[in-house]
Structure formats: C-alpha cells, structure tokens
Amino acid sequence: MRTREEQIEVETDIISKVVKKHINRETCKSFVHRLVMEAERRAEQRVRAEIARDSERLDWLENVAVNAKDVNIHCLMNTCGDTAFGICGSGNYESSLREAIDAAREMG
C-alpha cells in the first residue's frame, strides 16, 4: 500500500501528463491532494458508521438476547490456527457482555 504522499505523486504525474498544457504541476498536485483527502474522509465516515452499527448490534445482543451473567465466551483454536468463538452458559461474573468479550479477547 502506498503512502498518501506517494499516491499523490503518482496521480499528479498521470494527470500532469494529460493536461500539461492547461495547468501546472503544483495546481494539479493540489487538486489531487484534495481528492485524496476527501476519499480518506469518506472512508473514515464509513468506518465510523460500521463501528456504530456494530455497537448497536452488541447493545441489542446484550440487552435483548443474552443475560451476560449467565454466559461465558470461549475461544477454540485447531492445529491449523483456525479459531472459533462461542458463548455458553457458565455463571460468568462479568457485569456485561462487552466485558465478557473484552476479557476473552485479552486472553487470546
């Protein structure tokens, strides 16, 4: 993966070759920089939206579907390194499903 600066330079070179008679390289570079920054901003917004959806899912799971005091989260790994996570009843003393998940993640 290229750095932002490398990406800007590559795209600036491509555009500059096409429009060299109409705009100078610095104007082109400024334009490409704005495009890259906007793309990064939109990607960050998508990530934030997905995190919010994950949080809503976990809220639903914790508040509606699961009584966290009665669950235990476990992880199984086979000899190939494949992992599987599960939730089972065990009288876990975590105060919330989030804490149970965090505890399971810290163990792995």
Calculate the average pLDDT of the chain. Answer: 76
Mean pLDDT confidence for 27-47: 92
Instruction: Please answer whether residues 81 and 90 qualify as being in contact, where contact means their C-beta atoms are separated by less than 8 angstroms.
Output: no
Per-range mean pLDDT, top range of 17-21, 45-49, 64-68, 77-81? 45-49
At 63, list the tokens. 């508040």
Where would I find the H helices in 1-108?
4-19, 25-60, 97-107
Inform me whether the pLDDT recorded for 87 exceeds 50.
Answer: yes
* The two structure tokens encoding residue 47: 């990530």
- Is pTM beyond 0.85? Reply is no
Tens digit of pLDDT for each residue in 16-35?
A: 888 777 888 888 889 899 99
State the pLDDT at residue 33.
Answer: 92
Separation of CA 12 from chain center: 28
Q: How far is CA 35 from the centre of its chain?
A: 21
pLDDT of residue 49: 94
Percent of the chain past pLDDT 90, that is, above it, reads 19
Say which residue, 57 or 44, is predicted with more confidence: 44
